[in-house]
A and B are shown apart, each in its own frame.
Chain A
Amino acid sequence: MTELRKVEPLTKRDILSTYFRSTFMLGSFNFERMQAIGFCVTMIPAIKRFYHKKEDQAAALKRHLEFFNTTPWPASAIFGVTAAMEQKKAEGGDIDEAAITNVKIGLMGPLAGIGDPIYWGTARPILAALGASLALSGSILGPLLFFFGINIIRFLTRWYGFQVGYRQGTDIVQDVAGNRLKKLTQMASVLGLFVMGSLVSKWTSIKMPLVLVSYKQAGHVVNTSLQNILDSLLPGLVALLMTFACMWLLKRKVNAIYIIFGMFAIGILGYWAGIFGL
Chain B
Amino acid sequence: MSGTRVAVVGAGMTRFMRRAQETGKELAWEAARAALDSCELTLADVDAVCLTSAPDAFDGVHMKGEYLSDGAGGFGKPFIRTYVGGGSGVFTAIQGWYTVASGMFDVALLVAEEKMSSTQPHPQGAFLTIFDNILERPLGPNLLWIFALEMNRYMSAYGLDKRDIASVAVKNKRNAAGHPAALLGQADITVDDVLASEVLAWPVQRLDVSPISDGAVAVVVASEEAAKRITDRPVWIEGVGWNLDTTYWTNRDLVYPEYVENAARMAYDMAGVKEPRRQIHVAEPYDPFDYKELHHLEGLLLFEKGKAPEAARDGVLDREGDLPSCPSGGLLGVGNPIAAAGLMKIAELFWQLRGEAGARQVPGTPERGVAQAWGDLMQVGTVVVMGNDGGPPKTAAGLPVVQTPPYTAGGHPLSDGGFRSALGAVDHRLGARYSWDAGVAVGRFLDGLRAGKILGRECRRCERVLVPPRMFCERCFRETDGWIEVEHTGTVQTYSICHVSWDMQPLDPPEMPAVISIDGSDGGFLHMLGEVDPDGVRIGMDVEAVWKPVGERAGSILDIDHFRPRRQS
Interaction A to B: no
Contact surface of B with A, Cβ cutoff 8 Å: none
